[in-house]
Amino acid sequence: MREQAAANCKKETRTTKKSPDGVMPFQGPSRMHAAGGDRNLDLLIREEGQPPRQRRLHRTNIEWQASRSCPMLRVVIRIPPRTATDAYFAKMSGSRRLDIVFDIDLGELLESHHVVARGLEISGADGVLHYEFVPGLRQHEMDLKGPFFWYWTLSAEDDLGTLYRDDNGGAFDPDGKTAAHGTRYLGGPVPGSARLLRVNFTPAGGWTPTRSWCRQLDIALPGGRVTEAWTDPRQDAG
């Protein structure tokens, strides 16, 4: 499935200025979609000077590429089934679940591996991002590149100004092959009164992605509508 963006598309900027109701507005996203447990993805494409257009795509095989004139939108996403994450929660016997599901490929945050954000747990004592390494990591990679070559990081903030730790605690399945489930703590509980949660991403140390990668997710609460912000290395280099 391919959607061609407008030729006059321009890079937009973001702002954290709050609206009158106290919620940080969504500005400058490349793509926006609604969270949900089904296997489809609602893709809202925003082009400068044009009304939004929406396409409904299948979550398990998404291919989307924008115009050469708008590198900020140029990205191909292939999202595998959520098998590894579902298997993790199946072991919990129903005691835990994803409160918000979004299945977003964040790009190659570490060399030769994509990080696919599957969703959030926000009802417990600490907010948790569930993700998958695609493909899973191999022991020979750690031997060659070092034991922490995979260590991408995140930071969190919300519209209430909550202070989140930046310790980036978590774990992942070292035996995953096609995909390996992992968890990354947001650094504290997400207040029930928060209406916007922003999660920022940084690639693994020593690695610079060569293709577009997602630097930020804005998640509207409690509904879970997600707005993505992407970085294109080619545009930054120019």
DSSP β-bridge partners for residue 196: 220
Per-residue burial over 182-201, b = 16 or more CB atoms within 10 Å of its CB, e = otherwise: bbbbbbeebeeebbbbbbeb
d(Cα 72, Cα 18) in Å, to the nearest integer?
25
Q: Which amino acid is at 33?
A: H
From first to last of its 238 residues, what are the pLDDT tens digits of the chain? 333 333 333 333 333 333 333 333 323 334 444 444 433 333 343 434 444 444 333 333 333 333 333 444 444 546 889 999 999 999 998 899 999 999 999 999 999 999 999 999 999 899 999 999 999 999 999 999 999 999 999 999 999 999 999 999 999 999 999 999 999 999 999 999 999 999 999 999 999 999 999 999 999 999 999 999 999 987 766 5
Q: Please check whether residue 224 is in contact with residue 101, taking contact to mean a CB–CB distance below 8 angstroms.
A: yes
* pTM, two decimal places: 0.71
**What is the helix (H) or strand (E) element at residue 139, kind and residue range?**
helix 139-145
Question: CA distances (Å), 24 to each of 35, 160, 162, 227, in order?
Answer: 19, 10, 13, 12
Domain limits, the chain: 31-237
Helix (H, G, I), strand (E, B) or coil at 37: coil
d(Cα 76, Cα 70) in Å, to the nearest integer?
14
Q: Cα 180 to the chain's mean position, in Å?
A: 16
pLDDT score of 158: 98
Question: CA distances (Å), 29 to each of 8, 38, 157, in order?
Answer: 16, 23, 18
